[in-house]
Amino acid sequence: MSENELKDTRPNPVIKEPLPAARKKFPVWPALLVLIILIVIGALGGYGSGMGKRLAAQGTLVTGQLDEQYQLGLGAMKAGQYEVAKQHFEFILQHNPDFPGVQSAYANLLIQLLITPSPVPTLTPEITSTPDTRSIDEIYNNVIALLSAPGTDLCSRDWDAIIAKLDTLRKADITYHAAEVDGMYYISLRNRGLCKIYPQTFEPNASCQDLNINLEGGIYDLTTAESFGPLDTAASGLRTWARLYIAGASFWDQDWVQAQNYFAQVRASVPQLADSTCTTATERWRQATIGLANQLMAAGDYCGATGQFKDAFSINSPNNATVYPTATAVRNQCVGDNGTPKPKKTKVPTPGETKTPTS
């Protein structure tokens, strides 16, 4: 059998399909990474939610503690236990200086401590750490001693020196007993402002020329004190009267109606309030009333002028004597020979209007 015939008699070979040459496998690590990220996000979300609830509960607890300290401080202050109240308020200021009402209550407490003299405590020497604050402590204690020194005359204290020491203290360390220093600034500026505007209240026997009255300076001090705490009624009211006094003086010799109106308001509440010329609000009103009477007289309104002269003479002043002759002549012009008022010949000029009087 030939070789070709043998090839033909062999069984047909099995033809196998070729395997894929480049079948790629899908990587597993991205899926695992996504799964891990989802697990971490879920864990962090649960942790954050739990911490949020915990912090909220903690904040509620702290607020309750501060409110309790505030009420205890108010009660101690009402009972006259000022040092105890001071500890409660300082606890609040240390933890939350913006706690509602604590700044005002603390300022009022410091005023009460100033009004009620108490012995200056002797501080126990302590080992100071770096930086050395002994010089600052000395200034601080010196200011406390000056503020709590006994004395009934408020204006006899050297407020300029006290405020200068506070300035030095604050420049040395702005954080040093910040709340207490603010309270000291408030008291010092408030009292210095009062003494500049109306020292007559505290030094009734002193000569006006020796009181160094300064209305503008006092207003500035009280306004600066207001940046540390709300002004009390007495200080706020006195600042208002000082402003009205200055407003009335600005109309002097220009508009007697306005000047008389402003000084009438001041005179009704603080009759002895004066400026650096020592002219009281009462005297200013008397002079403004005479000025208005002269204005009416010049306009031919003799009866109106007579009424103004009469009002001015209600103030007992030796200076009235120089005006009596004029007032008498104006009254005669008003009533005439038969004692009845004459008709007014001209209208009263408005402020700023000039008119030639008729005879």
The SS3 assignment for 131 reads coil
Residue with tokens 């306005």: 258
Q: Which of 203, 198, 188 is nearest to 158 (CA)?
A: 188
Both tokens of 250, joined, read 């600005």
Both tokens of 240, joined, read 């208002």
- What crossing angle do the helices spanning 178-197 and 102-115 adopt, rounded to 10°? 60
- How many other CB atoms sit within 10 Å of the CB of residue 161? 13
CB 277 within 8 A of CB 208: no
- The rounded Cα 169 to chain-centroid distance in angstroms is 21
- Cα–Cα distance, 294 to 330 (Å, whole number): 10
Task: With residue 166 as reference, give the H or E element that holds it.
Answer: helix 159-172
Phi, psi of 352 (to 5 degrees): 95, -15
- Cα–Cα distance, 127 to 136 (Å, whole number): 14
pTM of the predicted protein model: 0.60
Residues 6+ apart with CB under 8 A from 82: 76, 109, 112, 113, 116, 118
Per-residue tens of pLDDT for the chain, all 359 residues: 445 554 455 555 544 455 454 445 556 666 666 667 777 676 666 556 655 555 554 555 567 778 888 888 888 888 877 788 888 878 887 778 678 877 667 767 776 666 554 444 444 455 444 444 568 999 999 999 888 887 767 888 899 999 999 999 999 999 999 999 999 999 999 999 999 999 988 887 788 888 899 999 999 999 999 999 999 999 999 999 999 999 999 999 999 999 999 999 999 999 999 999 999 999 999 999 999 999 999 999 999 999 999 999 999 999 999 999 999 999 999 987 444 555 555 455 555 554 444 43
- Cα–Cα distance, 75 to 136 (Å, whole number): 33
Task: With residue 282 as reference, give the H or E element that holds it.
Answer: helix 281-298
